[in-house]
Amino acid sequence: MNRGTSFILNRTADYERMSHAAADWVAGRLKQKPGLLVVLATGSSPERTYQLLAARGQSEPELFRAMRVLKLDEWGGLAMDDPATCEMALRNSFIDPLRITPDRVEGWHSKPADTNAECERIRLWLEKNGPPDLCVLGLGLNGHLGFNEPGAFLQPGPHRATLSPESMRHAMLQQAKGTPGFGLTLGIKDILQCREILLLVSGEAKRRQLERLLTPEVTPEFPASFLWLHPAVTIFCDEAALPKGA
């Protein structure tokens, strides 16, 4: 269904069906371009999609043989092997089961000695290897994308972010051994430069945010609204997240 927006909005019954539909969609993109460079968010929204793709790798390993992955964001200050890091989440659900070799994975170090140098490293990597073909995103409870948090302005490139109170309450941190001091994230321009964007939105807790996203008003107070500036955004949502009347 397209609600008069520039987004392609696919509604599904529940989280499981949303995840299956999204996994099929990503698999379709991989069939078209085996060497797809994909930026991956973590969190609960894409978690099942990644598991389903990983399961598909058992029967169709050739589908994933050339794909490349870039980590969207990371909790800064946690040890790389802290169970809460985006690194561990992606390794466990996606990278390791699919045997994506280290030369095909790039991402933030969670505890860099020099955060400016780390941001510059990712910027240069993107300059050399980008733009990515696809960016898989979740919608933050406060409208953030990655750690592009709401505020008076957004930053275009890879940067160190001040974590919002909502981010500090994120479920991923429940299993953290340490406390993150900051976020590391691709910037809004990096996200918008990806050729296609896949946004996953599930659950009643995201309904208000999805409703706001579907309102064509672009503001740094709601970073996901910048997706209005992108020509190829596909959203998969479930009934619980769907605004009434949509």
The site for ligand GLP (CB under 6 A) is made up of: 41-45, 72-73, 137-138, 140, 146-147, 167, 170-171
Catalytic hit among 74, 82, 149, 238: 149
Cβ at position 113, least distance to ligand GLP in Å:
22
Place of tokens 């503001």: 219
Cβ at position 210, least distance to ligand GLP in Å:
12
Q: Residues near 58 by Cβ (< 8 Å), separated by ≥ 6?
A: none
The residue (of 59 and 174) whose beta carbon lies closer to ligand GLP is 174
Q: What share of the chain is helix, strand, coil (3-state, %, to 5)?
A: 40, 20, 40
The residue (of 42 and 85) whose beta carbon lies closer to ligand GLP is 42
Active-site annotation holds for 238: no
The residue (of 60 and 178) whose beta carbon lies closer to ligand GLP is 178
Catalytic hit among 10, 106, 142, 166: 142
Active-site annotation holds for 149: yes
Dist. CA 235–CA 21, nearest whole Å: 11
Dist. CA 41–CA 102, nearest whole Å: 18
Catalytic hit among 144, 159, 196, 238: 144
Cβ at position 181, least distance to ligand GLP in Å:
15
Active-site annotation holds for 159: no
Active-site annotation holds for 142: yes
SS (H, E, C) 33-80: CCCCEEEECCCHHHHHHHHHHHHHHHHCHHHHCCCEEEECEEEECCCC
| Neighbouring C-alpha atoms within 13 Å toward the C-beta of 73 | 34
The residue (of 44 and 51) whose beta carbon lies closer to ligand GLP is 44
Cβ at position 24, least distance to ligand GLP in Å:
19
b/e map 119-128, b = 16+ CB within 10 Å? bebbbeebee
Q: Enumerate the active-site residues.
A: 73, 142, 144, 149
